[in-house]
């Protein structure tokens, strides 16, 4: 007899998966601004590295997609098809504005968007149920 699936999420991954609205979409700068408020003792550059790692893990687990919206191509391009860019390639901390912004360099990027998958929604719900029971 097989046991029930056990889902373990770090606090950061839980926040990432919990933040998108009912459509399952969220702009990465908006998510990072939210996380910076929660983890305000973590320097922005370090937080970005932790979020990059968490998003890659979630992507490998099938929980989400990270998409790059580019006006030059007028299409959504999944970032993970690229040759291992880091989030720091596309987004940075604006010290003057105290917020995260998308770089408007030669890539002509408009936004980075996280899209939750049904697997991410299901495992997040299972994780919450397991936490309530324990």
Distance CA 11, CA 9 (A): 6
Tokens 């998308």 identify what position? 102
The per-residue pLDDT for range 99-118, each reduced to its tens digit, is 999 987 656 778 889 999 99
Distance CA 122, CA 107 (A): 34
- Give the pLDDT score at 73: 62
Contact 27, 111 (CB under 8 A): yes
Three-state SS for 24-54 is: CEEEHHHHHHHHHHHCCCCCHHHHHHHHHHH
Tally the C-alpha atoms within 13 A of residue 27's C-alpha that lie toward its C-beta. Answer: 11
Contact 17, 120 (CB under 8 A): yes
Q: Which domain holds residue 107?
A: 23-133
pLDDT confidence band for 28 (50 / 70 / 90): very high
Domain count, the chain: 1
Q: In what order do the strands lie in the sheet with 25-27?
A: 25-27, 109-116, 64-70, 75-78
- Give the pLDDT score at 43: 97
Give domain status of residue 3, yes or no.
no
- Give the pLDDT score at 1: 41
Give domain status of residue 121, yes or no.
yes
Give domain status of residue 39, yes or no.
yes
Give domain status of residue 61, yes or no.
yes
What's the angle, vertex CA 13, arms to CA 52 and CA 84, rounded to 5?
A: 20
Give domain status of residue 2, yes or no.
no
Does 2 score more than 90 pLDDT? no
- Give the pLDDT score at 74: 47
Give domain status of residue 54, yes or no.
yes
- Which helix (H) or strand (E) segment is 75 a member of? strand 75-78
Does 61 score more than 80 pLDDT? yes
- Give the pLDDT score at 83: 58
- Give the pLDDT score at 93: 96
Listed in sequence order, the DSSP H helices in 39-115 are 44-60
Give domain status of residue 13, yes or no.
no
Give domain status of residue 9, yes or no.
no
The per-residue pLDDT for range 10-26, each reduced to its tens digit, is 999 999 999 988 889 99
């Amino acid at each position: 007899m097989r046991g029930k699936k056990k889902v373990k999420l770090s606090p950061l991954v839980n926040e990432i998966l919990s933040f998108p609205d009912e459509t399952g979409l969220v702009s990465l700068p908006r998510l990072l601004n939210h996380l910076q408020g929660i983890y305000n003792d973590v320097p922005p550059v370090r937080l970005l590295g932790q979020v990059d790692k968490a998003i890659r893990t979630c992507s490998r687990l099938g929980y989400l997609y990270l998409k790059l919206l580019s006006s030059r191509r007028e299409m959504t391009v999944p970032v993970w098809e690229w040759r291992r860019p880091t989030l720091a390639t596309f987004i940075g901390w604006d010290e003057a504005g105290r917020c995260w912004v998308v770089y408007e360099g030669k890539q002509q990027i408009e936004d980075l968007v996280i899209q939750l998958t049904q697997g991410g929604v299901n495992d997040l719900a299972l994780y919450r149920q397991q936490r309530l029971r324990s």
